């Protein structure tokens, strides 16, 4: 099987789970190693016989076709993407290239290389709840909610979802799409809210909260997402979509305050030290007010539900970042420093 984007945040947890749980599978992790991809995330898997790494760009049509012909992948879990909303506002075209064209290249390679009956094939596309747009104070996204993306990131993911579904309808390629809410946990690049703020608290830097801080997200621990992907990959129905969420809505400012208290505790700092770093800054353009997932379909059909509470997951996440300062230092150098200076000083 092929897993794309396996050196990234969610991908690394998915690769580890599959490599350890399924020694009989030959697992190929294809990743270009952009700023967000890091082989340190998978160091413990280097000597597993069922694990292979391929460095390649999904935008390279010829190379993707060559790899499909050479390795004859039966099934794909496709996670490779540009994934950060703020970067998509600065450089939308990069998101069209990787998220739309890159997905098309994989779909075409599957169409051209898989047998006509597609008996043993699956194109499993990992997507986001952001394709549904923004909710008001009430309501939840279900699998039938109309797509209404607002950021270049979510528009590019929506487009790729449509192409996956279209290839299912038009060419019968068996697919599954899952749309998941915001993930958090170990190995997340510190540009997204939770790891950015953990890093800034450690370094006693300001905590830049967009707008009034009353934006709401539904948070899921990354290892619970990986378990949901495993279940769906093996037991989900082809040509279907499943929503995955944490049943766990938080306004940003409440989440940040909880994080501050936990960090003060862990770092032996006086209560209130981290909260003093909170700084309200200019809002993100096109900022979606609220995301919340109705994950009852996957719960009922496949018996999946989150295994940890938010407080437990957040504590495990903080412990991981504090124990892995070298990882943090390595990824916060280079390109990231330039991005951080430009984005937050503008």
Report, as residue numbers or ranges, the catalytic residues: 129-130, 153
User: DSSP letter string over 281-311?
Assistant: EPPPTT---B--B--HHHHHHH-----S-HH
Q: Which stretch binds ligand TYD (CB under 6 A): 106-114, 133-141, 191-199, 235-243?
A: 191-199
Q: Which stretch binds ligand TYD (CB under 6 A): 113-121, 164-172, 207-215, 328-336?
A: 207-215
Name beta bridge partners: 52: 28
CB of 213 vs ligand NAD, minimal distance in Å: 19
CB of 154 vs ligand TYD, minimal distance in Å: 8
Distance, CA of 125 to CA of 161 (rounded, Å): 7
CB distance 79 to 8 below 8 Å? yes
Residue 286 contacts ligand TYD per CB under 6 A: no
Two structure tokens written together for 330: 């390595």
From candidates 85, 176, 228, 331, binder to ligand TYD by CB under 6 A = 85
CB of 338 vs ligand TYD, minimal distance in Å: 16
Residue 58 contacts which entry, ligand NAD, ligand TYD, none (Cβ below 5-8 A, type-dependent): ligand NAD
CB distance 126 to 4 below 8 Å? no
From candidates 208, 238, 301, 315, binder to ligand TYD by CB under 6 A = 208
Residue 217 contacts ligand TYD per CB under 6 A: yes
From candidates 9, 18, 124, 215, binder to ligand TYD by CB under 6 A = 215
Residue 81 contacts ligand TYD per CB under 6 A: no
Residue 159 contacts ligand TYD per CB under 6 A: no
Residue 202 in 3-state DSSP? helix
Between 160 and 182, name the residue whose CB sits nearer to ligand TYD: 182
Torsion-angle region of residue 67: left (phi > 0), alpha (psi -120 to 50) or beta?
alpha
- Angle separating helix axes 310-323 and 252-266, nearest 10 degrees: 50
Residue 132 in 3-state DSSP? helix
CB distance 95 to 128 below 8 Å? no
Give the interface with ligand NAD as residue ranges (CB under 6 A). 5, 7-11, 31-34, 36-37, 57-59, 79-83, 98, 102, 126, 128, 157, 180, 182-183, 189
Q: Which stretch binds ligand TYD (CB under 6 A): 19-27, 158-166, 205-213, 233-241?
A: 205-213
Residue 126 contacts which entry, ligand TYD, ligand NAD, none (Cβ below 5-8 A, type-dependent): ligand NAD
Residue 85 contacts which entry, ligand TYD, ligand NAD, none (Cβ below 5-8 A, type-dependent): ligand TYD
* CA-closest candidate to residue 216, choices 243, 244, 257, 252: 252
Name beta bridge partners: 249: 218
Distant-in-sequence, close-in-space partners of 97: CB < 8 Å, separation ≥ 6: 59
Residue 217 contacts which entry, ligand NAD, ligand TYD, none (Cβ below 5-8 A, type-dependent): ligand TYD
Two structure tokens written together for 243: 């929503």
Two structure tokens written together for 71: 């390795």
CB distance 30 to 4 below 8 Å? yes
Place of tokens 């400012």: 253
Residue 192 contacts ligand TYD per CB under 6 A: yes
Residue 35 contacts ligand TYD per CB under 6 A: no
Between 173 and 331, name the residue whose CB sits nearer to ligand TYD: 331
User: DSSP letter string over 313-327?
Assistant: HHHHHHHHHHHTHHH
Residue 219 contacts ligand TYD per CB under 6 A: no
Rule CB under 6 A: which residues touch ligand TYD? Answer: 85, 182, 192-193, 196, 208-210, 215, 217, 252, 284
């Amino acid at each position: 099987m092929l897993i794309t984007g396996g050196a990234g945040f969610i991908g690394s947890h998915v690769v580890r789970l599959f490599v350890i749980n399924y020694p009989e599978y030959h697992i190929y992790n294809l990743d270009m190693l952009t700023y967000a991809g890091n082989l340190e995330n998978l160091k413990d898997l280097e000597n597993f016989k069922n694990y292979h790494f391929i460095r390649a760009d999904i935008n390279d049509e010829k190379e993707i076709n060559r790899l499909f012909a050479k390795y004859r992948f039966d099934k794909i879990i496709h996670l490779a993407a540009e994934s950060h909303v703020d970067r998509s506002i600065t450089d939308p075209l990069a998101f069209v290239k990787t998220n739309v064209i890159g997905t098309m290249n994989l779909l075409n390679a599957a169409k051209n290389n898989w047998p006509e009956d597609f008996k043993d094939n699956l194109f499993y596309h990992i997507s986001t709840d952001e394709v549904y747009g923004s909710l008001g104070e009430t309501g939840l996204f279900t699998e039938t909610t109309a797509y209404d993306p607002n950021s270049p990131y979510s528009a590019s993911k929506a487009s790729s979802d449509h192409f996956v579904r279209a290839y299912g309808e038009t060419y019968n390629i068996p697919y599954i799409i899952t749309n998941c809410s915001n993930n958090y946990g170990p190995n997340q690049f510190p540009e997204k809210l939770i790891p950015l703020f953990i890093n800034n608290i450690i370094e006693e830097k300001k905590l830049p909260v967009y707008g009034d801080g009353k934006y709401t997200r539904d948070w899921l621990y990354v290892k619970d997402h990986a378990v949901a992907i495993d279940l769906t990959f093996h037991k989900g129905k082809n040509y279907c979509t499943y929503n995955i969420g944490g049943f766990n809505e938080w306004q940003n400012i409440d989440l940040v305050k909880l994080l501050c208290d936990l960090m003060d505790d862990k770092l032996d700092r006086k209560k209130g030290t981290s909260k003093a770093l909170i700084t309200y800054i200019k809002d993100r353009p096109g900022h979606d007010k609220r995301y919340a997932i109705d994950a009852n379909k996957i719960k009922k059909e496949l018996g999946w539900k989150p295994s940890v509470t938010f407080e437990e997951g957040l504590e495990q996440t903080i412990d991981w970042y504090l124990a892995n300062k070298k990882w943090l230092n390595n990824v916060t150098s280079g390109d990231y420093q330039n991005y951080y200076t430009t984005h937050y000083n503008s």
